[in-house]
């Protein structure tokens, strides 16, 4: 018979709980950015101070029920979704947002190969505003949902509006970021070299 230590209950160790709690901050930030809300907006709506909200998002403040309940109400999501706790026997995979390089990435696929899909959010206060073109293997397709996206691609410097699409070989030096003061939301499909998006049906003109 297995003995449970004081730090392990219901099959979850302290390490498991810490891992779940560590994912709350990036999830909170991604939810806020998706609504184009500032920390000040969120503080006014929830009564939680800007400094506390900032520490929650950065992982420097451990979330508790008193803080998470008003945040769940503001974002209109169930509390268990906010902390990434799937229901018992729920076979679905809950993909977690990741923040890097001035953007928040929300993975939409989990396939180990083939085309990978992401929703990306570039915050209004993101430091990502100076072009730094880079190259790598692959092919990318971008669709702007909200905001204005600046795309530097080789010798071209473009601004994409909501509803506009760009696709390019990522071996071409490229960079994208905000083209204004507002946050930008976009969808990205990334595939292997030479794998383009195939359109099977087009609207009649």
- Hey, where are the domains in the chain? 14-82, 98-191
pLDDT for position 160: 97
| CATH class in words for 14-82 | mainly alpha
Helices (H), 78-157: 79-82
pLDDT in tens, 140-195: 899 999 999 999 999 999 999 999 999 999 889 999 999 988 999 999 888 775 55
pLDDT for position 108: 80
Q: Of 60, 56, 91, which Cα lies nearest the Cα of 74?
A: 56
98-191 has the same fold as 14-82: no
Rounded to two decimals, what is the model's pTM?
0.53
Helices (H), the chain: 14-22, 24-34, 39-46, 50-58, 65-75, 79-82
To which CATH superfamily is domain 98-191 assigned?
Answer: Jelly Rolls (2.60.120.10)
pLDDT, block means (10 residues), the chain with 205 residues: 42 54 80 83 89 87 79 76 56 61 75 72 86 84 95 96 93 92 91 60 61
pLDDT for position 153: 96
């Amino acid at each position: 018979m297995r003995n449970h230590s004081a730090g392990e209950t219901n099959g979850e160790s302290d390490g498991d709980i810490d891992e779940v709690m560590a994912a709350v901050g990036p999830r909170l930030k991604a939810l806020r950015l998706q609504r184009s809300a500032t920390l000040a907006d969120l503080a006014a709506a929830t009564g939680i101070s800007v400094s506390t909200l900032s520490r929650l998002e950065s992982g420097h403040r451990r979330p508790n029920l008193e803080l998470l309940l008003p945040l769940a109400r503001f974002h209109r999501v169930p509390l268990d979704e906010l902390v990434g706790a799937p229901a018992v026997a729920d076979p679905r995979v809950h993909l977690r947002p990741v923040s890097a390089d001035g953007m928040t990435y929300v993975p939409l696929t989990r396939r180990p190969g083939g085309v990978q899909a992401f929703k990306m959010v570039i915050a209004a206060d993101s430091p990502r505003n100076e072009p730094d073109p880079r190259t790598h293997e692959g092919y990318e397709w971008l669709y702007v949902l909200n905001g204005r996206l600046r795309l530097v691609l080789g010798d071209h410097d473009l601004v994409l509006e909501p509803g506009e699409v760009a696709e390019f070989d990522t071996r071409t030096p490229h960079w994208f970021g905000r083209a204004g003061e507002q946050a930008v939301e976009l969808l990205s499909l990334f595939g292997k070299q030479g794998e383009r998006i195939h359109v099977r049906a087009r609207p009649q003109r």
